[in-house]
Amino acid sequence: MQSVPLTRFLAARGLASRRRAADLVRAGRVRVGGAVVTEPGRRVAPEADDVQLDGRPLPARPPPPRTLALYKPRGYVCSTRGQSARTVYALLPEGDARLVPAGRLDKDSEGLLILSGDGELVNRLTHPRYGHAKTYRVTVSGAVDDRALAALRAPLTIDGYRTRPAEAVVRGAGDKPGRTVLEFVLREGRNQQVRRLCRRAGLTVHRLVRTAVGNYTLKGLKPGQWREVTGRR
């Protein structure tokens, strides 16, 4: 009978992330076969071993995966470890590190971040072959003329990969003189793609907000707020 690490078993039952599960084991809160276990690397047989947390049997099946829509504020990083920066997981319920971001936003960017425990959904939202549109509202300064727009819409090579052309249109004047609001739609999400396009066009980015990922939007959310969403829209 195949055995698995105790921390993986606890995480698979939806009780905690593997890191948090290790803390539970070290704290003496987990019993295997009636005996307290304090070694996170202990292996167990899921179909045979009696594993309990705080004296209670584990749930037979993990709960369905959660999916959250978060308005990521500026200054936060999309990582479980923020180091000197703040991490978006501090904004989630119980700091849930089991949720995986479907596409990241850099520290200076803000807006919609979809996080899910559903690996298939994360893959569908991030893999270019599915073509889910990602929409950004970007405030820039500089000359937004025909030449700049052509540069914004042209393919770009990032890490040896040639991107698909981006959609870029002018949406109006910015909040300060000399600034312009642009809207970008990407069918893929390469590392800092929008910022790189603006830099190539000679534009300075002052604010970058992702407003939508596929059919998911920021509707009803303020910076730092999240809501639970359902369905693979």
Catalytic residue numbers? 106
Report the residue count for the chain.
233
Contacts for 87-96: CB closer than 8 Å, 24+ residues apart: 88/113, 88/115, 91/224, 91/226, 92/68, 92/226, 93/226, 96/17, 96/66
Q: Are the C-beta atoms of 67 and 114 separated by less than 8 Å?
A: yes
Alpha carbon distance 18, 222 (integer Å): 30
Ramachandran angles phi, psi of 217, nearest 5°: -135, 175
Q: Running DSSP on this structure, what letter comes out for residue 61? A: S
Task: At 209, list the tokens.
Answer: 């907000």
CB 121 within 8 A of CB 232: yes
Residue 227 neighbours by CB under 8 Å, 6+ apart: 68, 69, 220, 221
